[in-house]
Chain A
């Protein structure tokens, strides 16, 4: 695919002001793709696929989604079959509700809850690199990713999914944590592919080609 063809497939990054979208931008820039900064429904409508990046706190991010009118529009965007990739907090946002610093309704594209990692013995936040041993190569987003590859995680909350979708887990101190999810046109990664070195960049390459 040429650079021009890449650019015609316009990718948007939801910028809620608190999430750090720069690292996502840089990962796309690595493949000469410049993404659109999406802060309102109009900007969303000019995109074919979007990334919901994942740094920040759920409340401030969802607050932005509601007041900007993006929450409703993103749900429609998903119902139209357009591709959405949620990263870390962005993946958690795809679920029904979150309990981070109090109850919070989220996008409800995938049924499930966001909860704190059980803090009995574990070090929280979970910060560091893990292998996802069962990563299925059936998913186009994870093409050329192998079970020996490591990804960078940085989170205190995790997804409890109550929906019919493909998931992969990591084992963090004896607890199963959802590392990836996919359901039709909806994708999510709990880890940060944009911070996972060259292996993570492959995921962006795959996303661009979806």
Chain B
């Protein structure tokens, strides 16, 4: 018997979700959300990950929020034409109109961080209009002196002085469709995620829960499955070809039938 079987009964198939962080038309990657370097063209990468069997793709414009830049709707629409899996777009979404524009460009769902902390009503309004399954809240978490967790905004740049769990609970009341936890401390470090944090969030929410930031091996992903996460968000280990989506899935499938394998 393997340990995964008991989770399979209570949860849905686990999702492997590559994340494309985009700045000025380039796919970039940094460490602890700094020291950015150019990796590739986001469109080519999206196609590659689609063909490798990604279950979903997240596209984040990492400066749209900070500089209030307009979205690169051309790139969003180009990617959405090439992939036939859920395409989630985030970065700088501040209003119902932003959501509408991004969905209209071809995204299937949106991912909101700064905009929701500045005005939580956006979650209530958009989940009622577009359906809650359409709205993912991204929480960029940072541990403060190892004493508490705080959600950050503007792609990990600015503090909010809010307790992370208060914020998680509020998003649930407002009708969010999914929580995406991103560890700022782990970003690009390949050290895995804080299991206690994951456990605590999983206990307090009923929505799908995905996590990322610092995943460095398939074992880190298995930890997330065991903790009841519904998906993992990957960037570094895929971008730099440490491991392929196919190999990750094959590896997980060997220990439990809880993942979609694409032949």
Contact = CB atoms under 8 A, between A and B. Distances in A.
Interface in A144-166: 150, 152, 154-156
A147 to B, nearest CB: 13
B85 A152 contact: yes
Contact of A123 (B12, B15, B109): B12
A194 B13 contact: no
A18 B13 CA distance: 28
Nearest to A171: B9
Contacts of A20: 103, 108
Contacts of B131: 55-57, 89, 156
Given A22-B106, A60-B129, A150-B13, A125 B177 contact: yes
Interface of A is mostly: mixed
A81 B81 CA distance: 32
Contacts of B177: 125, 127, 156
A38 to B, nearest CB: 17
Interface in B225-256: 230-231
B84 A123 contact: no
Interface stretch (B146-154, B155-163, B206-214): B206-214
Contact of A23 (B9, B11, B12, B80): B80
Interface stretch (A66-74, A180-188, A195-203): A195-203
Interface of B: 9-15, 50, 55, 80-81, 84-86, 103-104, 106, 108-109, 128-134, 177-178, 206-209, 230-231, 260, 262
Interface of A: 18, 20, 22-23, 26-27, 29-30, 55-57, 60, 89, 101, 119, 121-130, 150, 152, 154-156, 172-174, 192, 194-198, 200-201
7 contacts: A22-B104, A29-B81, A55-B130, A123-B208, A125-B208, A127-B208, A128-B230
